[in-house]
Chains A and B, each alone.
Chain A
Amino acid sequence: MFFKLGLDWLGKNFLSPKMFYANTTKLLPWLAILFMSFFCYGLIDGLFYAPADYQQGDGFRIIYVHVPSAFTGMAIYAVMAVCAVITLVWRIKIAAICMSCSASIGAWFTFLALVTGSIWGKSMWGTWWIWDARLTSVLILLFLYLGFIALQSVIDNQQTKERASALIAMVGVINLPIIHYSVIWWNTLHQGPTISQFAAPSIAPTMLYPLLAMIAAFLFFYGWMVLTRMRSQILLREMKTEWVKKIYE
């Protein structure tokens, strides 16, 4: 009963391009404000107030940009996979738009995770790169994003483009558990999963809070960027409809 009511509410308010555009107008400034607030707190606390690590010294502060980048890069791919299923099964326009607008943002976050990880690796392991299970699986994630973007740019037919790229998004999702468990399944130089270790207090609260704030900031940034891009794409796709013409009258 409540599930059906929830679906009806979602359908009425967010699944039609017109309603989605109208209902996200007020959401954008809030996402920007939340991003800025969490980002400023995480940045200042992480850089200047969190204590230095007993083994890695101040070098560990790279965690506050590296872990949120990797987490967001993976989360965006999961969002794309969900949108892919919705696109293929229910053919909902908004899901297809969300999938295509998320790809480049996800690629940038995955690139950022690799670059900041490489810098951290150089300072701690003495090397920029090794063919380690975690590093290699994240590199594969970046290639999946790039493959998705390339496929979207070479196919002209809108429906074929959406279906083909949705297939890539769905197939590639198998890489997400591989990335997460790579440090458990194989012997790697990379440390164990930071996020799932929160249950056991392996990281001090003074180090944990700025990390959580930065993860929240990165997710709000993704929300802000993807909604802005989706709204632009909706205007472009619906430019011949009356409601878009009215906006520009």
Chain B
Amino acid sequence: MNDIFWMGEYGTYVWTAYSITLFVFGLNIFMTYREKHKIKKLLKTLRDEST
């Protein structure tokens, strides 16, 4: 278990690179779905105003 965590002497570099990658993926998903919900909300507001 310790070997997997430390990865020889490169653990810090490897885990940092993977953590940043996961963060960027998460951020992209968050931004994409936030934009989607904003647009859907806007369209619903426009529909309510017109009726």
B25 to chain A, nearest CB (A): 7
Q: Mark A35-60, 1 if CB is under 8 A from B, else 0.
A: 00000000100011000100001110
Residues of B within 8 A of A43 (CB): 18
The residue on B at minimum CB distance from A59 is B10
The complex places the Cα of A59 from the Cα of B8 at a distance, in Å, of 8
B39 to chain A, nearest CB (A): 5
Contact B36 A59 (CB under 8 A): no
Contact A58 B24 (CB under 8 A): no
A248 touching B47 in the complex, CB below 8 Å, given contacts A65-B21, A119-B16: yes
A190 on interface, CB distance cutoff 8 Å: no
Contact B18 A65 (CB under 8 A): yes
Identify which of A3-11, A105-113, A149-157 touches chain B. A105-113
Contact A123 B13 (CB under 8 A): yes
Residues of B within 8 A of A249 (CB): 47
The complex places the Cα of A105 from the Cα of B31 at a distance, in Å, of 10
A228 touching B36 in the complex, CB below 8 Å, given contacts A57-B8, A58-B8, A239-B46: yes
The complex places the Cα of A230 from the Cα of B27 at a distance, in Å, of 18
Contact of A225 among B9, B11, B16, B28 (CB under 8 A): B28
Residues of B within 8 A of A245 (CB): 47
A87 on interface, CB distance cutoff 8 Å: no
A55 to chain B, nearest CB (A): 12
Contact A123 B33 (CB under 8 A): no
Contact A232 B35 (CB under 8 A): yes
Contact B28 A108 (CB under 8 A): yes
Contact of A62 among B4, B8, B17, B27 (CB under 8 A): B17
A121 to chain B, nearest CB (A): 10
A21 on interface, CB distance cutoff 8 Å: no
Contact B8 A112 (CB under 8 A): no
A130 on interface, CB distance cutoff 8 Å: no
Q: Mark B21-51, 1 if CB is under 8 A from A, else 0.
A: 1001101110111011001101110110000
Contact B7 A61 (CB under 8 A): yes
The complex places the Cα of A59 from the Cα of B14 at a distance, in Å, of 6
Residues of A within 8 A of B16 (CB): 119
Q: A108-B28, A109-B24, A225-B29 are in contact. List 14 more A-B contacts (CB 8 A).
A: A58-B14, A61-B14, A62-B14, A62-B17, A65-B17, A66-B17, A111-B24, A112-B20, A225-B32, A228-B33, A232-B36, A232-B39, A236-B39, A247-B43
Q: Give me 21 A-to-B residue pairs in the complex whose CB atoms sit less than 8 angstroms apart, sorted by A's number.
A: A47-B4, A47-B18, A58-B7, A58-B14, A59-B8, A59-B10, A62-B13, A111-B24, A115-B20, A116-B17, A119-B13, A120-B17, A225-B28, A228-B33, A229-B32, A229-B35, A232-B32, A232-B40, A233-B39, A245-B47, A248-B43
